[in-house]
């Protein structure tokens, strides 16, 4: 199920971006990260009308203030040039999708 672009802003937290993030790009990155998280996979490709690249599941939990979740990095080519985005899926967002809990490095879940 594709994420609503406005909803995706509340489901990911961007730690760093060298390119401007539009709502549609945020939604694309969110969908790629959720897919990788669900499959416990390492790398996924993303593509759209004005961008292409890959998203890497860093398989680490990151924290930014009170926001915590699994971390991802995207290397993208966009109409504005190449860029990098580092972000995490929020626990709140994972819970809304029915994916509560964090995966540990061994593949289990931490509560």
- Pick 76 or 26 by higher pLDDT: 76
Number of domains in the chain: 1
- In whole angstroms, give the CA distance from residue 80 to residue 66: 32
**Res. 7: pLDDT tops 60:** no
- State the pLDDT confidence band at 49, using cuts at 50, 70 and 90: confident
- For 50-75, write each residue's pLDDT tens digit: 899 999 999 999 998 889 999 999 99
Provide the token pair at 73. Answer: 């990095």
Write down the pLDDT at residue 64.
87
Write down the pLDDT at residue 105.
42
Note down the domain range covering 60: 5-110
């Amino acid at each position: 199920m594709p994420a609503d672009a406005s909803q995706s802003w509340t489901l990911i937290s961007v730690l760093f971006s060298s390119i401007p993030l539009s709502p549609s790009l945020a939604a694309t990155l969110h969908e790629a990260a959720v897919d990788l998280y669900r499959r416990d996979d390492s790398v996924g490709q993303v593509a759209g009308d004005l961008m292409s690249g890959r998203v890497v599941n860093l398989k680490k939990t990151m924290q930014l203030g009170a926001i915590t979740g699994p971390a991802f990095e995207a290397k993208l080519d966009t109409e504005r040039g190449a860029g990098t985005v580092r972000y995490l899926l929020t626990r709140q967002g994972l819970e809304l999708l029915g994916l509560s809990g964090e995966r540990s490095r061994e593949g289990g879940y931490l509560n």
